[in-house]
């Protein structure tokens, strides 16, 4: 008995706290972007609930590569977590491409209601079937066109415009139908291609245009809000599978905090971003609802193909969300 007690005392004296597990989290934008805000909020929430069990190592500004490579890293388990756009998601879960359909979401409130509701949650569950776990839908905002050629008011103004799109077939089809010359490209190459004039323009939400300082390489901004751009928080299934139930619950809570931070950033930049970009020298025009309707009508053909791919029923269900 004496021996057992002594052994217990000795092991208690030399006990070291279990080593914290490192979480590598990769994202395409700077730490002061909406992704940085989301990643930081996630880390803080987890620290509050689980103390020092996990440490975060941030890889902002595409530090782990383009979004497709990072998602593949999450599948392989070499990257624990990422926050990414929907750019390459439909290569992994084709149905998720429905959120990339132009002019489908009416406004931020509508998009948030869709993603937080049944449709968004059903879509998140599909990621478990393709070797990753999706914690929540985050947000970038509505995408707008920037370019160096001139203001865009009608589809004719996009004629032949060398515009970088995400590696996303839904977007590619829309810009082709408008008569533009879309070039799908991974984000890490975009600023260089704009600087060198290899492309005329690109399209992204204000959150990206402001945080990536695209005003330094682009003259014109057209606020056309052609498509809502969600983000998603993905976690590697190997890592997720090793968490116990209470840890998983803490990660789910942290994901909520992360989404709130991303949306807060988007709300803020929607309010102040245009003034920031004008002050930085960009020429900004905003399409009226009538002008947007002309763009929407020019997408009649792609719309038939979107309905064939994703199902008219799903698209109607999305539009019916209040």
Q: What are phi and psi of 180, to 5 degrees?
A: -80, 175
* Min dist. Cβ of residue 217 to ligand PAF (A): 14
Q: Please say which residue, 204 or 236, places its beta carbon nearer to ligand PAF.
A: 204
* Min dist. Cβ of residue 231 to ligand PAF (A): 6
* Min dist. Cβ of residue 322 to ligand PAF (A): 27
Q: Please say which residue, 140 or 258, places its beta carbon nearer to ligand PAF.
A: 140
**28 forms part of the interface with ligand PAF (CB under 6 A):** yes
- Token pair, residue 147, equals 């370019």
Q: Quick one: DSSP state of residue 90?
A: G
Residue sitting closest to ligand PAF (CB): 85
Is 39:58 a contact under the CB 8 Å cutoff?
yes
* Min dist. Cβ of residue 70 to ligand PAF (A): 10
Per DSSP, the residues of 150-212 read: ----SGGGGTT-EEEE-S-HHHHHHHHHHT-EEEE--GGGHHHHHHTTSSSEEEEEHHHHHHT
d(CA 258, CA 250): 12
**269 forms part of the interface with ligand PAF (CB under 6 A):** no
Binders of ligand PAF among 228-267, rule CB under 6 A?
229
Binders of ligand PAF among 55-74, rule CB under 6 A?
67
Element (H, E) at 285: strand 283-286
Binders of ligand PAF among 177-206, rule CB under 6 A?
187, 204
Per DSSP, the residues of 228-247 read: EEEEEEEE-HHHHHTS-HHH
**45 forms part of the interface with ligand PAF (CB under 6 A):** no
Give the dihedral of Cα atoms 46, 48, 53, 58; nearest 10 deg.
Answer: 50
Binders of ligand PAF among 81-110, rule CB under 6 A?
84-85, 87
Q: What are phi and psi of 228, to 5 degrees?
A: -75, 140
Distances from the Cα of 316 to the Cα of 18, 93, 141, 221, 320, angstroms: 51, 20, 21, 31, 6
* Min dist. Cβ of residue 245 to ligand PAF (A): 31
Q: Please say which residue, 194 or 208, places its beta carbon nearer to ligand PAF.
A: 208
* Binding residues vs ligand PAF (CB under 6 A): 28-29, 67, 84-85, 87, 140, 166, 187, 204, 208, 229
């Amino acid at each position: 008995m004496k021996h057992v007690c002594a052994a217990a005392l000795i092991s208690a004296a030399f006990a070291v706290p279990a080593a914290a597990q490192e979480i590598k989290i990769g994202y395409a934008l700077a730490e002061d972007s909406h992704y940085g805000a989301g990643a930081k909020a996630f880390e803080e929430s987890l620290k509050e609930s689980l103390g020092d069990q996990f440490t975060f190592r941030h890889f902002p500004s595409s530090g782990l590569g383009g979004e497709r490579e990072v998602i593949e890293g999450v599948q392989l388990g070499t990257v624990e977590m990422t926050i990414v756009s929907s750019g390459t998601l439909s290569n992994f879960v084709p149905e998720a491409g429905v959120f990339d359909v132009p002019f489908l979401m009416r406004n931020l409130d509508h998009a948030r209601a869709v993603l937080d509701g049944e449709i968004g949650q059903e879509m998140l569950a599909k990621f478990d079937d393709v070797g990753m776990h999706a914690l929540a839908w985050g947000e970038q905002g509505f995408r707008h066109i920037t370019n160096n050629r001139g203001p865009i008011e009608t589809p004719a103004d996009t004629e032949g415009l060398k515009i970088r799109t995400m590696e996303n077939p839904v977007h590619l089809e829309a810009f082709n139908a408008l008569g533009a010359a879309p070039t799908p490209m991974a984000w890490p190459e975009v600023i260089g291609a704009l600087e060198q004039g290899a492309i005329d323009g690109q399209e992204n939400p204000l959150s990206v245009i402001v945080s990536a300082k695209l005003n330094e390489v682009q003259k014109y901004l057209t606020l056309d809000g052609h498509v809502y751009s969600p983000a998603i928080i993905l976690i590697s299934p190997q890592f997720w599978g090793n968490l116990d139930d209470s840890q998983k619950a803490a990660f789910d809570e942290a994901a909520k905090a992360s989404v709130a931070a991303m949306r807060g950033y988007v709300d803020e930049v929607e309010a102040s971003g245009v003034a920031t970009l004008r002050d930085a020298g960009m020429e900004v025009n905003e399409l009226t609802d009538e002008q947007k309707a002309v763009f929407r009508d020019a997408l009649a053909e792609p719309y038939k193909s979107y309905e064939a791919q994703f199902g008219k029923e799903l698209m109607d269900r999305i539009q019916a969300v209040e």
